[in-house]
Amino acid sequence: MEKMHVRDLMVPVDRFPKISYRTSFYEAVRALEAAQQKYMTGEARQRILLVEDDDHRIIGKLSPIDLLRGLETNYSRIVAENTLSRFGFTNIWKTIQEDYNLWGNPFHDLCRKAAQVQVKDFLKGPSEGQTVAVDDLMAKCFHLFVMNRHDSLFVVDGDQIVGLLRFSDVYQEVSKTMKECHIDTVPK
């Protein structure tokens, strides 16, 4: 696996269901449900839902957690939680939650939000440490998966997202490689 490149395990973007970044919150929920249903019945091999802009360029992916973020719009105003928590300042984070009234009324006016809020209003693109190049070696990916705990990495060719590297595929390859070692696991 030392010589394996990202392109060897990535899944190209054309294999994923996609929605527009102009899709309403409600339609995004329905699209995620449809993708999950097709995946569960074996009709589709992917349940990750990619988001594209007006030029059909992939700008991110949509997950259920993104939808929860969309319910609480004040999250877009806060970027410090991970840094504060990492350095032991969880009490400051609790104060920020109270000051911004996070989750004070997330379901207030839910029907209006479902119709009027668009995916582009809450979608976060790839974060730092969530992007790899098609020609990167897998060692870089192992580091990013372990340190950042992402379930997938965006694969770029230049400035364009061309695929996803899913942790499940990487783990499967690691497992396969280990099994090929034929290690005797019987205690002596």
pLDDT higher than threshold 60 for residue 181 = yes
Q: Which residues pair with 38 in a beta bridge?
A: none
Domain boundary assignment for the chain? 6-179
Q: How many other C-beta atoms can be found within 10 angstroms of the C-beta atom of residue 104?
A: 11
Domain at 6-179, CATH homologous superfamily: CBS-domain (3.10.580.10)
Distance CA 132, CA 81 (A): 24
Burial 34-56 (b: 16+ CB within 10 A, else e): ebeeeeeeeebeebbbbbbeeee
Whether residue 131 contacts residue 153, with contact meaning beta carbons closer than 8 Å, is answered with: yes
Q: What pLDDT shows up at residue 110? A: 63
Q: What pLDDT shows up at residue 169? A: 92
Chain segment 8-26, per-residue pLDDT in tens: 999 999 999 999 999 998 8
Per-residue pLDDT, averaged over 165-182, amounts to 88
Q: Which residue has the tokens 């569960």?
A: 40
pLDDT higher than threshold 70 for residue 109 = no
Does residue 140 sit in helix, strand or coil? helix
pLDDT higher than threshold 60 for residue 97 = no
Chain segment 71-91, per-residue pLDDT in tens: 765 544 444 445 555 666 555
Q: What pLDDT shows up at residue 20? A: 97
